[in-house]
Chains A and B, each alone.
Chain A
Amino acid sequence: MNDFISASLVINIVLGAILGGCSYLIYVERRLAAFIQDRVGPNRTGPAGLFQPIADGIKLFIKEDVIPGHVNLFLFILGPSIAVFTTMLAYAVVPFGPPDQIQFTLMGMNLDFRFIIAPQIDIGMVFIFAVGSLAVYGIILGGWASNNKYSMLGSLRASAQVISYEIPLGMSIVGLGILTGSLNLERLVLHQAEQGFWGWNFWAQPVACLIFFVAALAEANRLPFDLSECEQELVGGFHTEYSSMKFALYFLAEYTHVILVSLLTTLLFFGGWQFPLIAEVDSAYTGSALVKVGVLLSKAFCVIILIMFLRWTLPRFRFDQLMGLAWKVLIPLGTANVVMVMTVKHFELPSWWMFPLSLGLVAVVGVLSVPNSKTRYGALGMAGGRTRIAADGVLPPGLGKRIPM
C-alpha cells in the first residue's frame, strides 16, 4: 500500500512537471524565436506575457473541435492519444535525480521517495526505444484516419523517417552499453558520476553523442527534420485535419518528446546529475539531492535551448537528404564507432584514446564526402552537381564557374 502511494506520488509529480514544463517551453520557444528574428513575441498576457501558455491552454480547450465527416472516427481519436501516451510512457525509466531514497512520513505512512518512476529497470534504454518507436503509430493513424492526401503523405514521410532513424539511434548507445556494461539509465549515470567530470561519456563517445542527438531530433520530428509537417508542401502534415484539443495533444507529444530527448542526452552523455564540486557522488550535505535534481534539469534545459536554436538556424532537409543522412552517414559512422569502442576495449587501451579516435572517425567522414560532393548526391546530397541559371544572368560570387556548352 505504501509502495503504491509513493509510486503514484512520483508519477503525479513527473506528469505535472512535464505538462507544466511543456506549456512553458512553448512560451520560451516563442519568445526565443521572436528574439532571434528581432521581434518581441507574446508580451501582452500578464507580465512579460507569462500567462500566455494558460490563455493558450484555455483557448485550445474551448475551441470548436472539428471532426470532418470523412474520417475514420475511431482511428482519428486514437491517433493523438497514442502519440501522447507513448511519449509519456518512456518517462517511466528516466531518472530525474540521484539514486538516493528519501524516507518521510505523510499522514502516518512511511513513504519512500525515489527520483524515478520505475527504479532499476535493466533494459532501460531498450524500453525507451521500444516505446518511442510506437509513437510513429500515433502519426500514421492520425494521417491515415484523416482521409486526406496531405495528411497521408505527411504520415508516410514520418514513418519512413522514424524507422530509418531508429537504427543510428540504437547504434549510438551500443558503445555506451559496452563501456558501462549496462543499459540501465541509473547505472549509466552512476558510472559517469563516479569518474567525475572527465568521466562523462561525452569525452569517450563524442561521435555517439552527435549521432544520438541528431537521430533523436529526427525521431521527435523537430526542425530541421520536420518533413512530416512541412507547411510549404503538406499544408499541416499529418495533423492538417486536427483542431482544438486533439491538435494540442499532438503538440504536447512533440514537446514531451523534446524534453525526453534533452533529458536522455544529458543522462547518457553529460553526466546526468553530476557536476564538479557541488553535486558529486559522495556529496551528502542537506539538500544535496535537490541540488542534483536542479543540476540535471538545468543541463537538460541547456539542451532544449540548443534544440530551439538549431530550429531557427538550420533550414529543413530535403527528403532524399534526410534519408541519405541516416543511411549513408549516421549508420556507417555509428557502426564504425562501435568497432572503435570494441577495439579500445579489446586491446585494453586507456579510455582517453577514444576521444582522438572519435575525432578521427569524423575526419574520415569529411575526407570521404569531399570527392562525393562533385556528384549530385554527395555524402548528404547537399551540394555538388550542376545548376541551371538564366543565360546573361549575373553569377553571384561563390556560386561556381560557367560550363561552356
Chain B
Amino acid sequence: MAISDKDVTWVEEPEMTFWEALFVPAIIDGLRTTARHVTGYKSVTQQYPEQRPELPMNYRGVHRLNKDDAGRVKCVACMMCATACPAKCIDIVAAPAPKNEEWAGRDKYPATFVIDELKCIYCGMCEEACPVDAIELTHIYDLVGTSRQDLTYDKEKLLDVFEQTKNSGRDPIRTHMGRLGPASEFESLPPLGPATAVPTGDKAARGVSSGVISS
C-alpha cells in the first residue's frame, strides 16, 4: 500500500557550504575519526574460550529436572509443561508411582521424560507452567553433540544436569510454588508504554486489543 500524500512531508536539504563542497576537508575529518579508534584502541571483543561471558541471572539454557528431598524426581507427570511448550519438544510417559517405601507419598511419576534440545526454542514456558518447580532452565549454554541422539535429553541426563548445576550458585532451586521463574524476575519494573516516544497519530503505535479493528 502506498503511503498517502498527507502522511508525507517534504524536507529541503541544507545547502552545502564551501568547505563541504570541497569534500577533501570532510574526508580528512573522517580519517581523523578513524585514526582515533586506532590510537585509542580499546577492544570490546571477549576472548571466548578463555574468557567466559557473564550471563544475566535470567538466562535460559539447558533444562534440568529437579529432585525432591528424598532424591526422587520432583516431577508429578502432570503434562503441564508438555502442553505449554510451543515447540512441542517435551515427551512424557506418565506411570503410577510404585507402591513401595521409596515412593511413599507420591502417586504419579514420569516413566520417561524426553526433551529434544534441538527443537526447543528456550522460551522458558515449561518452567513457568510447572506447578511443582520440577523443570527449570539452567545457565548451561555450550551445548554440543555429534548426533541428534546426543541432544535428545532423557530423564537420566536431565537429572544429571540437576546434579551439575544445583550448587553452581547461578541456578538456585526454586522451592516455593506460585512465584514466576527467574526469567520474569526483573530488578525493577519496566516502564509502562513504549520505550521511545511515539508521535501522536501513529496508527501502528496505538494500543489495540487483539481482534479489534480500529478506525
Contacts and interface: CB of A to CB of B under 8 A. Distances in A.
User: Do A and B make up one complex?
Assistant: yes
B41 A35 contact: yes
Nearest to B45: A40
Contacts of A383: 13-16, 20
B144 to A, nearest CB: 19
Nearest to B43: A40
| A-B CB proximity, top 4 nearest | A369-B21, A373-B16, A392-B199, A366-B22
Contact of A370 (B3, B8, B15, B43): B15
A210 B35 CA distance: 20
A215 to B, nearest CB: 15
Interface string A282-305: 000000000000000000000000
A402 interface: yes
B170 to A, nearest CB: 27
Contact of B43 (A38, A373, A384, A391): A38
B193 to A, nearest CB: 17
B31 A210 contact: no
A373 B16 CA distance: 6
A37 B37 contact: yes
5 contacts: A210-B24, A313-B33, A362-B24, A370-B17, A389-B11
Interface stretch (A21-29, A95-103, A228-236, A393-401): A393-401
A374 B15 contact: yes
A313 B27 contact: yes
Interface residues of B, number: 39
Given A39-B45, A387-B11, A392 B18 contact: no
Interface string B2-14: 0100111111111
Interface in A350-400: 362-363, 365-367, 369-370, 373-374, 378-380, 382-395, 398-400
B96 interface: no
A370 B16 contact: yes
Question: Max chain B CB contacts within 10 Å: which of A366, A378, A405?
Answer: A366
Contact of B12 (A35, A390, A398, A400): A400
A402 B45 contact: no
Given A313-B31, A374-B15, 11 more contacts: A37-B37, A40-B47, A312-B34, A363-B22, A367-B21, A373-B16, A378-B21, A390-B3, A390-B7, A394-B197, A405-B10
A365 B24 CA distance: 12
B98 interface: no
Contacts of A402: 9-12
Nearest to A380: B23
A387 to B, nearest CB: 5
Contacts of B19: 366
Contact of B11 (A35, A37, A309, A399): A399
Interface string B78-102: 0000000000000000000000000
A35 B42 CA distance: 8
Nearest to A405: B10
A309 B12 contact: no
Contacts of A386: 10-13
A35 B38 CA distance: 6
B69 interface: no
Contacts of A35: 37-38, 41
Interface string B34-57: 110110011111010000000000
Contacts of B8: 388-391
A362 B201 CA distance: 49
A36 interface: yes
B32 to A, nearest CB: 9
B36 to A, nearest CB: 9
A62 interface: no
B51 to A, nearest CB: 11
A401 B11 contact: yes
Contacts of A366: 18-19, 21-22
B168 interface: no
A121 interface: no
Given A388-B9, A389-B11, A392-B199, A314 B30 contact: yes
Interface string B131-165: 00000000000000000000000000000000000
Nearest to A395: B11
Interface string A273-285: 0000000000000
Contacts of A309: 31, 34-35
A394 B38 CA distance: 34
B200 interface: yes
B12 A403 contact: yes
A310 interface: yes
B202 interface: yes
Contact of A400 (B11, B47, B201): B11
Contacts of B43: 38-40
A384 B15 contact: yes
